[in-house]
A and B are shown apart, each in its own frame.
Chain A
Amino acid sequence: MTTENDHSPPESPLAAVKRTSAALFAVLDDPAQSSRHDVVRAELIELHLPLVDHCARRFRSRGEPFEDLVQVGTIGLIKSVDRFDTGRGVEFSTYATPTIIGEIKRHFRDKGWAIRVPRRLQELRMQITATTAELTQSLGRSPTPTELAASIGCTMEEVVEGLESGNAYSTLSLDAGDSSDDGAFTMLDTMGVEDDGLENVELRESLKPLLAALPAREKNILMLRFFKNMTQSQIATEVGVSQMHVSRLLSRTLDHLREALSESP
């Protein structure tokens, strides 16, 4: 891109636009020429229309009609012209570009569908949504496609088609809360995580040979305590020793197992 202080004679179109723009803004800022303001404002907007075109082109492959993008972009341009402050010392295009792009993005946010659906279906879908709400109210249950079709005045086929397209309307962020719930769960929460039990498998496998190596009485006490869920006193009666002894035996056996486990790699 050429700049003004290059070889002066062939002035680049961009430089010409800049110069014209600056001149027009000067008029706009001049209170003495307020009668010309409307004309100059229109001139400025027209002068910068190619900028809108350029910005809109960036979004062309996203499914919205190009003309629509130019239209909303132009609104952004008009806002920029009205708000531009020449005193800031920046180029108008520098100021206007983010505003125009912002306007186009807003358009996508408001009107854009996550997955491209033909306009006819979009409208149908909106009708279906509205009519479903109405009929649900009057019927006391959700309506059938036949009832929807009769109410909207289209065929049942179209209702089915519209219902299909409804699922393309929005994609869900993984972090989005489940609106039907208290919002505590997000999509991400419902997805798989590593099972904590997995680690236990390893421990259990390492424990097996250790348990097998225990003396019969200790093994028996462990089993009664942890598998049959007996209290220490019950075990004491069962095995024929004092409760204190059971307690000692248990803690000694557990210590032994814990130690052996941490020793094994």
Chain B
Amino acid sequence: MRPDAELRLPVDPAFVSVLRATAVSMAARLNFTVDDIEDLRMAVSEAAGLVLPEQPAESSDLLCEFYFGTDKMSVRVSARSESPAPVDQSDFAWQVLSALTVDASTVIESDTLAVTFSVQSTATS
């Protein structure tokens, strides 16, 4: 499935704010409430923090894919690294992420560590 929006950023924590702002700006157009947007903002930061590698692979990017559903946005944040370490589920960042979102999951595919999650809009409930 092709993402509705894709953002490719340098593997550098300094660019996480760009990712955050983009995610927030998109959610604002998609019938999310202010609270949902705050959750998304935090979740995106945590996800980026989890996948940002200490030793990025050659020509690695922080890749963020956004899938828009009905009252729902799914996000996949990933980065390639020399030796991707699995996300520690007891990690504070992971706990925050999984508490704020639905279906938070993490996967390692060869040299890529990816975190996916969805945020549900509460605007219609």
Binding site for B on A (CB under 8 A): 132, 141-146, 148, 156, 159-160, 163-164, 190
- Let me know if B55 is at the binding interface, CB within 8 A: no
Interface string of B28-40 (1 = CB under 8 A from A): 1101111111000
Within the complex, what minimum Cβ distance (angstroms) separates A107 from chain B?
A: 30
Please count how many residues in chain B sit with their CB below 8 Å of the partner chain's CB atoms: 16
Q: A-B pairs with CB below 8 Å: how many?
A: 39
Which B residue sits closest to A140, measured CB to CB? B125
- Do most interface residues of chain B lie in helix, strand or loop, or is the interface mixed? helix
Asked whether A142 and B24 contact (CB < 8 A) given A148-B34, A156-B29, A163-B37, the answer is no
Residue B89 interfacial (CB < 8 Å): no
**Which chain B positions have C-beta within 8 A of A142?**
33-36, 122
The answer to the question of B21 belonging to the interface, with a C-beta cut-off of 8 Å to chain A, is: yes
Please, which residues of chain A bring their CB within 8 A of the CB of B32? 144-145
Binary CB contact string for chain B from 65 to 87 against chain A (1 if under 8 A, 0 otherwise)? 00000000000000000000000
Residues of A contacting B: mostly: helix
Query: How far apart sit A190 and B25, CA to CA, in the bound complex (Å)?
Result: 29
**CB-based contact B34/A145 at 8 Å:** yes
Q: Which residue of A lies closest to B27 (CB)?
A: A145
Task: For the A-B complex with A145-B32, A190-B92 known, give 8 more contacts whose Cβ atoms are closer than 8 Å.
Answer: A141-B122, A142-B33, A144-B123, A146-B28, A146-B31, A148-B34, A156-B29, A160-B28
Q: How far is the CA of A143 from the CA of B33 in the complex (A)?
A: 5
Contact for A156 among B28, B36, B122, CB less than 8 A: B28
